Structure 1
Amino acid sequence: MTTRVFRVTVRGVFSDLDADQRTALLDRASEHSVLRAAFTPEGHLSYDIAVRTAFTFRFQDTGECEEDIVAAVERAETVARAWLDERGYGYKNLRAQAEDLSQAPLGKRQRREAARRD
């Protein structure tokens, strides 16, 4: 069986942040810039709290079958909630979306390379 790669995005909105929490997020904003966003096994958080209160966690996970994507989404949501809860950050509208990269359409370059192999 082949290993499937899943990309899971967990989005939400910070809620009821006090002044100290906003300052802490602003102080670490460069670490969480959208320009540094990446799908990682441990998850990467990005936000721009100076502009809006939305945030995004990006996770990369693996599985052996299509049904494993459900467990990957649950793990990602659990990690995101834990990160927010550990820091006392309020949040709302948490939702997750996942993509199985083995099911993703090939890009132009990938189609060209696949055609060369055939």
Structure 2
Amino acid sequence: MTTRTFRITVRGVFDGLTPGQRAELLARAAEHDVLRAAFTPEGHLSYDIAARPAFTFRFQAEGEAEEDILEAADRAEAAAKAWLARGGYGYKNLRSQAEDLSQAPLGKRRRRAAAQQRT
């Protein structure tokens, strides 16, 4: 069986932050900058609290079957909730979106490389 790679994005909005929590997030903003965003197994958080209270966690997971994407999405959402709970951060509108990269359309370069490999 082949291994499938999943990318899960969990989005939400910070809610009811105290001035101390907001200051803490602002102080750590550089490590959570959207320009450093990456899909990782442990999850990567990005936000720009100075501009708006939205945040995004990016997770990468693997599975063997197409159905594994549902469990991966559940684990990612649980990990995001756990991180928020550890910091005591309130949130709302939490939602997740998962993509199976084996089902993603190939770009022009990858289509050309795949065609060359077949010949």
CA offsets 1:56-81 (integer angstroms, 9 cap, x no match): 00000000000000000000000000
Question: Is residue 81 of structure 1 aligned with residue 81 of structure 2?
Answer: yes
1:43 partner letter:
G
Q: Alpha carbon RMSD of aligned pairs, Å?
A: 0.4
1:89 partner letter:
Y
- Unaligned 5+ residue runs, structure 1? none
1:79 partner letter:
A
Q: Give SS of 1:85's match.
A: helix
Residue 27 of structure 1 and its aligned partner are, at CA, apart by 0.1
TM-score when normalising by structure 1:
0.99
Query: How many residue pairs were aligned?
Result: 118
Identity %: 72
CA offsets 1:63-113 (integer angstroms, 9 cap, x no match): 000000000000000000000001100000000000000000001110010
Q: Could you tell me how far apart the structure 2 residues matched to 1:115 and 1:31 are? A: 40
Question: Is residue 117 of structure 1 aligned with residue 117 of structure 2?
Answer: yes
Question: Is residue 18 of structure 1 aligned with residue 18 of structure 2?
Answer: yes
Aligned match of 1:8: 8
TM-score when normalising by structure 2:
0.98
Q: Could you tell me how far apart the structure 2 residues matched to 1:115 and 1:82 are? A: 44
Aligned match of 1:93: 93
Q: Could you tell me how far apart the structure 2 residues matched to 1:3 and 1:20 are? A: 43
